[in-house]
Amino acid sequence: MKQCTHADELPPEPAALSETCLECLAAGSHPVQLRICLHCGHVGCCDSSPLRHATEHYKDSAHPVMRTLEPGESWRWCFVDNVLV
Please check whether residue 35 is in contact with residue 46, taking contact to mean a CB–CB distance below 8 angstroms: yes
Give the global pTM: 0.94
Does residue 44 form part of some domain? yes
Is the pLDDT at 2 greater than 90? The verdict is no
Q: Give bridge partners of residue 83 from the DSSP assignment.
A: 78
Does residue 23 form part of some domain? yes
pLDDT of the residue at 1: 62
pLDDT of the residue at 51: 96
pLDDT tens for 44-77 read 999 999 999 999 999 999 999 999 999 999 999 9
First to last CA, the chain: 12
Domain count, the chain: 1
Does residue 62 form part of some domain? yes
Q: What is the mean pLDDT of the chain?
A: 95
**Residue 26: which CATH number?**
3.30.40.10
The parent domain of residue 76 ranges over 7-84
Does residue 60 form part of some domain? yes
pLDDT of the residue at 15: 97
65-68 sheet: strands from edge to edge: 43-45, 34-37, 65-68, 76-78, 83-84
Does residue 54 form part of some domain? yes
